[in-house]
Amino acid sequence: MIMKGKRGLIVGVANNKSIAYGIAKACHEQGAELAFTYLNDALKKRVEPIAAEFGSDMVYPLDVSKPEEFEALAENLEAKWGTFDFVVHAVAFAPKEALSNPFVETTKAAFDVAMDISVYSLIELSRHMLPMLNDGASILTLSYLGAEKYIPNYNVMGVAKAALEASVRYLAADLGPRKGIRVNAISAGPIKTLAASGIGDFRFILKWNEANAPLRRNVTIEEVGNSAMYLLSPLASGVTGEVHYVDAGYNLMGMAAVDEEDG
């Protein structure tokens, strides 16, 4: 029970297919106490039973485009916990047309919303939680290979993930000297979730990853959850500013795989 006595905030559960759900599950299994946020009233109905499944009645609204909701969240956590130990940021959004149209057609409005919801929210969340974080606390966000390499249709979200990974490094350098706070990202392989369904031809990305990753399969939210739990726990006390791949090894491939039957 490596997370016994640890308390953490999970931002980004939409349903039980969410990567944040896999992370919550792994942390709960290791004894962590959890609080959750939901985007809107429709998702509140989904998130409340999930929180209950993990023994929590701490469920608060957070639309990261609304600064006042960060303040209310901080007040709620301060009143209930006072201090805590980890934060999971598993939030991303870009308008659907920006994830299927040619990249050059990306509008300024789509660019701004992708950067605001998917990148700036990590900085704003970190800043609001900082006064309550214990020594050695851990912050974790979720990225994707599209930050570094071209992935069809990932478009503006690839640019946002590149900025997110850079933000992880800057936050790690900024917060490390203060209370030894660590900041890391997991670059997860493709997984069928609500957010992923917004990416044009996502099924092809899944099939390609499965066919070409060294493990010849895709990863699960449980696998991402277990790796996340490690990064959030004292087991990773020497790790900060990292982007850790949990992608069945796909990121190392320079060419498509050749299997026996392919000749």
Which 3-state string (H, E, C) describes 50-104? HHHHCCCCCEEECCCCCHHHHHHHHHHHHHHCCCEEEEEECCCCCCHHHHCCCHH
Strands (E), 144-229: 182-188
Determine the Cα–Cα distance for residues 137 and 131; give it in Å rounded to an integer: 11
Cβ atoms of 251 and 245 closer than 8 Å: yes
Among 50, 73, 77, 90, binds ligand NAD (CB under 6 A): 90
251 counts as binding ligand NAD under rule CB under 6 A = no
Active-site option among 21, 38, 60, 154: 154
39 counts as binding ligand NAD under rule CB under 6 A = yes
Name the phi and psi angles at 247, rounded to 5.
-145, 25
Q: Kindly report the number of other CB atoms within 10 A of residue 261's CB atom.
A: 5
Phi-psi region at 200: left, alpha or beta (left = phi > 0; alpha = psi -120 to 50): beta
Span near ligand NAD by CB under 6 A; candidates 50-58, 142-150, 168-176, 226-234: 142-150
Please say if 250 is a catalytic residue. Answer: no
Among 10, 35, 151, 195, binds ligand NAD (CB under 6 A): 195
Q: How far is the CB of 91 from ligand NAD (least distance, A)?
A: 4
Residue ranges in 50-79 that form contacts with ligand NAD under rule CB under 6 A: 62-65
Q: How far is the CB of 256 from ligand NAD (least distance, A)?
A: 20
Q: How far is the CB of 176 from ligand NAD (least distance, A)?
A: 23
Active-site option among 144, 230, 245, 250: 144
Q: Kindly report the number of other CB atoms within 10 A of residue 63's CB atom.
A: 16
∠ CA 61-62-65, rounded to 5°? 145
12 counts as binding ligand NAD under rule CB under 6 A = yes
Among 193, 227, 233, 240, binds ligand NAD (CB under 6 A): 193
- What positions carry a catalytic annotation? 144, 154
Using CB under 6 A, list all residues that contact ligand NAD: 12-14, 18-20, 39, 43, 62-65, 90-93, 117, 142-144, 188, 190-191, 193-196
